[in-house]
Amino acid sequence: MKKKLLSVPLLLASVFSLSGCVMNDASESTQSENVYTNDAYTQEFSKSFEGTGKVVIEEFSDIECPACRNFAPTYERLEKAFADNENVEFRYNHYPLESIHRYAYAGALATECIGKVSGDVARSQYLHLAFQEEKLSTDFYRELRKDETLGLTEKQQEEFLTCFNNKETSNIVKNHKVEGDKRGLRGTPTVYINGEEYEGSRIYDALFVEITKKIQ
**pTM for the full model?**
0.79
Q: What is the pLDDT of residues 98-148, one digit of tens each?
A: 999 999 999 999 999 999 999 989 999 999 999 999 899 999 999 999 999
26 three-class SS: coil
CA distances from 115 to 124, 141, 209, 215 (A): 9, 14, 27, 26
Sign of CA dihedral 31, 111, 91, 20: negative
Instruction: Tell me if 198 sits within 8 A of 58, measured CB to CB.
Output: no
Domain count, the chain: 1
Lowest mean pLDDT among 14-28, 78-92, 102-116: 14-28
Q: What is the CATH number of the domain that holds 62?
A: 3.40.30.10
Instruction: Look over the chain and give the mean of its residue pLDDT values, rounded to a whole number.
Output: 83
Picking from 81, 104, 83, 138, the residue whose alpha carbon sits closest to that of residue 21 is: 104
Q: What is the pLDDT of residues 153-206, one digit of tens each?
A: 999 999 999 999 999 999 999 989 988 998 899 899 999 998 899 999 999 999
- Answer whether residue 20 is part of any domain: no
- Answer whether residue 17 is part of any domain: no
* Residue 151 structural domain: 53-214
